[in-house]
Amino acid sequence: MSETELRDHAEDILTTTAPEMSSVETLDEQSKKSHGVGTVRTMAASGELHADYRMQHGFGLGAVLAEFRALRATVLRLYELSGSSDLVEVRRFNESVDEALTASITRFTVRTDVFRDQFVGVLSHDLRTPLGAITTGAALLAVPEDNPQRRARVAATIINSAQRMQRMIADLLDLTQARLGGEIPLTRGRTDLQQVCEEVMREIRTARRDVVVRLDTSGNLVGDWDADRLAQVVSNLVGNAIQHGEGTPVTLVGREEGDRVTLAVHNGGSPIPPEAMPVIFEPLARGQADGVGVGHSIGLGLFIARAIVSAHGGEIPVSSSRAVGTTFKLLLPKGPLSVSAG
């Protein structure tokens, strides 16, 4: 998060706190507010909004607490430097901050519990299908028969299901890495984004001969990137475009723009609903907001794609409307290995 983003709710919390400090309250109300259970709950909305936004950026509970501690310490230090010594005002300020803090922690905890329950449910459901296919296939292979073609089909199904489960486990590991506040690990090297796109398109066309995927590039698309990770991003975005494109062609447009490269992945069909846009990169955001790539169904594709692009120092904005369709755009800085052209 940028410094501006980190300061986003400080003004709201403080401007809400100021009139609270001068309002008339009974001792009982002041006591309740200091425990976060006041009847007016003026600070609750600010605290809950803060928790929601921090969860979207992968903050842990300790980081949220640290922000409130920093806010409290900063204000009290400035209050001391101003020459004021009214302990009643200090107490009233602490009560208001405590109310916002309690609301934030409560919201954070509730949403974490909901996320955990959804996550376990989705994981159990999505792993059950490939696991069932493996179990059934193994049982069929155990039956003696003289039908090589049938046994080959069963073996191929087992392999595909095992690979699908392997991809899900890899996504879970990436999710854990990102949620713990770390960046997705990268192995950087000289990478041609055009070659990455061509390889992904070959894989997709092999699995889905009915889809139309086009690539248009111009300029030098070489940069200091992790080729495997970028292939993962492109695969997720193209798979997502196929899934939600309602049969429309999927286009990839790569361009060199100064010291960075852009890649736009576009599909037609129904637009992303406005209510889904704020959470489209969040894990388990289903329907139009999920990032399911080819062979994926656990709903982590867009979340991981954004984490990979962020680890490269890039961005991944999205636009969607019924008139022009949906476009995810990768903005990737080239890095030092792009000095020699192509």
Q: For the chain, which domains are there?
A: 3-115 (no CATH), 126-179 (no CATH), 189-338 (3.30.565.10)
Q: Which two tokens stand for residue 23?
A: 């309002």
Q: What is the pLDDT of residues 99-131, one digit of tens each?
A: 888 888 888 888 777 767 766 666 665 677 678
Return the DSSP state at 51: H
Mean pLDDT, to the nearest integer, of 184-203? 89
Contacts 24+ apart (CB under 8 A), 21-25: 21/89, 21/92, 21/93, 21/96
Mean pLDDT, to the nearest integer, of 140-144? 83
Residue whose structure tokens are 């990137």: 225
DSSP for 99-165 reads HHHHHHHHHHHHHHHHHHHHHHHHHHHHHHHHHHHHHHHHHHHTS--S-HHHHHHHHHHHHHHHHHH
What are phi and psi for residue 101, nearest 5 degrees? -65, -45
Model confidence at 217: pLDDT above 70 = yes
Q: What is the pLDDT of residue 291?
A: 38
Model confidence at 325: pLDDT above 90 = yes
Mean pLDDT, to the nearest integer, of 51-64? 78
Alpha-carbon gap, residue 151 to 172, rounded angstroms: 32
- 265 three-class SS: strand
Alpha-carbon gap, residue 175 to 324, rounded angstroms: 32
Alpha-carbon gap, residue 31 to 229, rounded angstroms: 53
Alpha-carbon gap, residue 29 to 38, rounded angstroms: 6
Give the distance from CA 308 to its chain's centroid: 10
Alpha helices in the chain (DSSP H): 3-6, 10-22, 27-34, 44-56, 61-81, 87-141, 148-179, 193-207, 227-244, 301-311
Q: What is the pLDDT of residue 288?
A: 37
What are phi and psi for residue 329, nearest 5 degrees? -125, 120
Contacts 24+ apart (CB under 8 A), 277-281: 277/318, 277/320, 278/56, 279/56, 280/318, 281/305, 281/306, 281/316
Model confidence at 13: pLDDT above 70 = yes
Model confidence at 331: pLDDT above 80 = yes
Residue whose structure tokens are 């595909």: 160
Q: Which two tokens stand for residue 177?
A: 């890495």
Alpha-carbon gap, residue 205 to 112, rounded angstroms: 39
Q: Which of 166-170, 180-184, 190-194 has the lowest mean pLDDT?
A: 180-184
Residue whose structure tokens are 């999205």: 318
Mean pLDDT, to the nearest integer, of 62-86? 88
Model confidence at 138: pLDDT above 50 = yes
Q: Which of 6-20, 92-106, 118-132, 325-339 has the lowest mean pLDDT?
A: 118-132
How would residue 297 be classed by pLDDT, with cut points 50, 70 and 90? Answer: very low
Model confidence at 218: pLDDT above 60 = yes
How would residue 292 be classed by pLDDT, with cut points 50, 70 and 90? Answer: very low
Q: What is the pLDDT of residue 286?
A: 47
Provide the whole-model pTM.
Answer: 0.59
Give me the residues paired with residue 320 across strands.
326
Model confidence at 2: pLDDT above 50 = yes
What are phi and psi for residue 313, nearest 5 degrees? 80, 20
Q: Is 140 exposed, middle or buried (0-12, 13-18, 19+ CB in 10 A)?
A: middle
What are phi and psi for residue 272, nearest 5 degrees? -70, 130
Mean pLDDT, to the nearest integer, of 129-134? 77
- Average of per-residue pLDDT values in the chain: 80
> Sign (positive/negative) of CA torsion 208, 306, 283, 134?
positive
Which amino acid is residue 14, in one-letter code? L
Q: What is the pLDDT of residues 236-277, one digit of tens each?
A: 899 889 989 999 999 999 999 999 999 999 999 999 998 888
Q: What is the pLDDT of residues 278-287, one digit of tens each?
A: 878 876 654 4
Residue whose structure tokens are 């680890």: 311
The residue count of the chain comes to 342
